Amino acid sequence: MPSTPPQSERPRRRAFDWPTAILIVIVVSAASYVLWRDGFARFLDVVIADADLFAWMLPNLLAGCLIAALITVLLPRDTIVRWVGKDSGLKGILIAAGAGVIVPGGPFTIYPIAAAFVGMGADAAAVVALITSWTTIGLSRALVWEMPFLGFDFVLWRWIGALPLAVLAGLIVRIIEQQLRPGSKP
What is the reported pLDDT for 20?
Answer: 87
What is the reported pLDDT for 183?
Answer: 64
Alpha helix segments (H runs only) across 13-123 = 18-74, 77-84, 89-102, 107-119
Q: Which residue ranges make up each domain of the chain?
A: 14-58, 75-180
Query: What torsion do the CA atoms of 68, 118, 105, 142 make, to the nearest 10 degrees?
Result: -150
Closest by CA position to 138, among listed 183, 93, 103: 103
149-164 pLDDT, tens digit per residue, is: 999 999 999 999 998 9
What is the reported pLDDT for 19?
Answer: 87
Residues in the chain where the model's pLDDT stays below 70: 1-11, 13, 183-186
